Structure 1
């Protein structure tokens, strides 16, 4: 009787441990994906912060470098000047 109770308890502990392990693996996987999205956004945020850009109402205004290399299929994009350093 004692042996049966011990084996049952051990099996229950193993089952709960296996379920918790699966839960935490899924949580870690989801967090890794979210972290990767944040890491992909870092260069964009750095470029935005280094550029001379401001909010003008609900749009962005930029201090464009007229001598910069144009890009885009129609040459419609120009680089933005660097933000002045204080």
Structure 2
């Protein structure tokens, strides 16, 4: 049981460690993606501004007309990607919460199973102790009887018990018909 509890504790520790690593990695990835989406939009605009400054007004109008649609489409794709990333991070957060809940339930199940096992062991031990105490008490009476029988001078006579009676000893019983048996020599 101790080995099982030890292994379970190791598994739980690894599970918690992995959950923390996944959470840290997910948060870092989310921050990096947000920074990257902001940098890309700024970089594209800055690059477009620098290239357009050197061109003449007519060329700038034509270039703006030609670039505005792809840039808008690119920005829309970036926004959609940001939304998808945010949804993915929310889904991952929900999954992490579910794993934490499962972890808590698993810990309680292990504690209850360990408690039930200890209770079962204590109950079984108590019952065995009571049972063997009764056996010892019963066998003690039988042992006293066997000790007295082994010390007495008795034998079997045609299937019946015969005894060498001490006729000079004091008589016992209600009508004084019992006398001690002589000790075996």
TM-score, with length taken from structure 2: 0.42
* Structure 1, unaligned runs of 5 or more: none
**Does the residue aligned with 1:31 lie in a helix, a strand or coil?**
helix
Q: Return the index of the structure with the highest Cα Rg.
A: 2
CA distance in structure 2 between the aligned counterparts of 1:43 and 1:5, rounded to whole angstroms: 56
TM-score, with length taken from structure 1: 0.85
**Displacement after TM superposition at 1:32 (Å):** 0.4
CA distance in structure 2 between the aligned counterparts of 1:54 and 1:34, rounded to whole angstroms: 29
RMSD, matched Cα: 1.4
1:42 aligns with 2:143: yes
**Displacement after TM superposition at 1:57 (Å):** 3.5
Which stretches of structure 1, 4 residues or longer, exceed 3 Å deviation after superposition?
A: none
The structure whose residues are more often strand, as a share, is 1
**Does the residue aligned with 1:22 lie in a helix, a strand or coil?**
helix
Counting matched residue pairs gives 84
